[in-house]
Amino acid sequence: MPTTDTRPGGAVDVRGLRKTYGGRDVVDGLDLQATAGTVTAVLGPNGAGKTTTVECCEGLRSPDGGTVRVLGLDPVTDAAALRPRVGVMLQDGGLPTGVRAMEMLRHVARMYAAPRDVDGLAERLGLPAFGRTTVRRLSGGQRQRLALAAAVVGRPEVVFLDEPSAGMDPQSRHAVWDLVRELRADGVAVVLTTHLMDEAEDLADVVHVVDHGRVIASGNVPDLLSDGTAGRSPRLRFGARPGLPVAVLATHLDDAAPDGGWTVTEDEPGEYVVTGPVHPTTLTALTTWLARHDVLATRITVGRRTLEDVFLDLTGRHLR
């Protein structure tokens, strides 16, 4: 049954988590809370420590420091008590490879007291199309969908999903996202790791942005996206030949639109971002400067700030 967990820290409560490999802290004092009826995303680049963190929550790894509680219990020492209450979808599927897909799901369902309707769940995740195929012959995306079904078939109170839509086609991805939203509506605490900003933006109630084993920003998506003065305005991006004098351009924009306090950065060779309160005259000022310097922009776009921008602002690096 979904939890109505109201304990301080919520259904998942991680404080000061530390995990060291070969003398290197891959998780370095990480705090994370997740509550019932919410989707909590752990967003960060490859190697940030997301999988290690959720594996500590799943009882698959022992922390080297800090505390981890899931439904008030210790995932390692209370593993048996937590098993029927927690659903886990591992990044590599973690499934036995020699059995047929639907056989495996039915077998998992039988281990729970009140499982979901297996056929209904399988149908909505598109499993019948490969139900008689052995797990080892499934594609990565098929394996992911089967692993998700296995994680939720027992009606868990807490679900951990590690990169749930990795390797999936858009249709499957949306089926997964719909299921995650339904779990939330049923009161489940869903924790997902992802390096896909659109997955975090579309699905999550709360996002923890992780880098180098630490949470560097947390909050709901609108709050994260409106963080700071520049964040309240859209981002102006353009493509042009690499190596433009960005400081000179910023000064020109300042002269043309003095309310700005503009910054212009070349994020990647030939990819520019203009930060400041963009309005119609900013575009005129930009194109005038480009024309004067005989620069043909290949593309100019104005769009809202994204979680990718949040990460870039905080770290100076892209998420991927």
Ligand X SMILES: Nc1ncnc2c1ncn2[C@@H]1O[C@H](COP(=O)(O)OP(=O)(O)OP(=O)(O)O)[C@@H](O)[C@H]1O
Binding residues for ligand X, per CB under 6 A? 21, 26, 44, 46-52, 195
In the complex, what is the shortest distance from the CB of residue 233 to ligand X, in angstroms, rounded to a whole number? 31
In the complex, what is the shortest distance from the CB of residue 47 to ligand X, in angstroms, rounded to a whole number? 4
How does 133-144 read in b/e, with b if 16+ C-beta sit within 10 Å? bebeebeebbbb
Using the structure block, give the residue that is written with the tokens 């000179």: 248
**Inter-CA distances, 199 with 12, 126, 189, 309, Å:** 21, 20, 17, 15
Q: How far apart are CA 250 and CA 178, in angstroms?
A: 43
- The residue (of 145 and 195) whose beta carbon lies closer to ligand X is 195
Q: How far apart are CA 280 and CA 293, in angstroms?
A: 21
In the complex, what is the shortest distance from the CB of residue 50 to ligand X, in angstroms, rounded to a whole number? 3
- The residue (of 159 and 278) whose beta carbon lies closer to ligand X is 159
- The residue (of 164 and 276) whose beta carbon lies closer to ligand X is 164
**H/E element holding 120?**
helix 118-124
- The residue (of 241 and 320) whose beta carbon lies closer to ligand X is 320
Q: How far apart are CA 267 and CA 246, in angstroms?
A: 11
As given in the structure block, the two tokens for residue 185 are 């509506």
- The residue (of 48 and 244) whose beta carbon lies closer to ligand X is 48
Task: Work out whether the CA dihedral 201, 204, 206, 212 comes out positive or negative.
Answer: negative
As given in the structure block, the two tokens for residue 147 are 């692993």
Question: Bridge-partner residues for 305, per DSSP?
Answer: none
In the complex, what is the shortest distance from the CB of residue 28 to ligand X, in angstroms, rounded to a whole number? 10
Q: How far apart are CA 71 and CA 85, in angstroms?
A: 9
In the complex, what is the shortest distance from the CB of residue 148 to ligand X, in angstroms, rounded to a whole number? 17
In the complex, what is the shortest distance from the CB of residue 45 to ligand X, in angstroms, rounded to a whole number? 7
In the complex, what is the shortest distance from the CB of residue 311 to ligand X, in angstroms, rounded to a whole number? 13
Q: How far apart are CA 106 and CA 89, in angstroms?
A: 16
- The residue (of 4 and 21) whose beta carbon lies closer to ligand X is 21
DSSP 11: S
- The residue (of 18 and 116) whose beta carbon lies closer to ligand X is 18
